[in-house]
Amino acid sequence: MAGRDLTMDEMKKPGRVLIDRSRLHEIVPLSERTIFDMEKRGEFPQRFTLSARRVAWDLAEVEAWIEERQSGGGKASFPKPRNAEL
């Protein structure tokens, strides 16, 4: 997953703060794989592609995601065991 590109309107938004991977992991104590999978499912803010080797997240989107979790909007669901019948 390469992330999504910023639109010109998004880049011009005043007060936008982008955070890198290390700062994201200071804020959200989830593994890289968990965040990647949640992004793919639309359950976590999407990363932005800054260059071929650099991505970032919008701090406001990450903070809103955290607020949603704190207010009970994101109930955790346990994965089904691998041998469970569908």
Residue spans of the domains in the chain: they are 8-70
Range name among 2-6, 34-38, 64-68 with the lowest pLDDT average: 2-6
Contact (Cβ atoms closer than 8 angstroms) between residue 78 and residue 86 = no
Query: What's the pLDDT at 76?
Result: 63
State whether residue 9 is helix, strand or coil: helix
Query: What's the pLDDT at 83?
Result: 72
Query: What's the pLDDT at 15?
Result: 75
Range name among 16-20, 64-68, 82-86 with the lowest pLDDT average: 82-86
Order of all β-strands in the sheet with 54-58: 18-19, 54-58, 48-51
Average pLDDT over residues 50-69: 93
What is the pTM for the complete model shown?
Answer: 0.69
